[in-house]
Amino acid sequence: MKRTMIYCLLVGYLCSFQTNNLPEGFVYIKDIIPDIVVELRYHGSNNFVGQPIEGYNDSRCILTRSAADKLKNVQNELRHFSLGLKIFDAYRPQKAVDHFVRWSKNTDTKMKAEYYPEVAKENLFKEGYISIRSGHSRGSTVDLSIISLQNMKELDMGTQYDFFGKESWPSNINISADQRSNRMLLQSLMKNHGFNPLKEEWWHFTVEDEPFPDTYFNFPVQ
Compute the distance between CA of residue 222 and CA of residue 126 in angstroms, rounded to an integer.
31
Q: What's the CA dihedral at 113, 115, 118, 120 to 10 degrees?
A: -90
Pairing of strands 83-89, 37-38: parallel
- Is residue 122 among the annotated active site residues? no
∠26-29-35 over CA atoms, to 5°? 165
Catalytic residue among 39, 54, 201, 210: 201
Compute the distance between CA of residue 170 and CA of residue 149 in angstroms, rounded to an integer.
24
Compute the distance between CA of residue 14 and CA of residue 30 in angstroms, rounded to an integer.
21
Q: What's the CA dihedral at 215, 94, 65, 192 to 10 degrees?
A: 90
Output phi, psi for 127, to 5 deg.
-90, 5
User: Which residues are catalytically annotated?
Assistant: 201
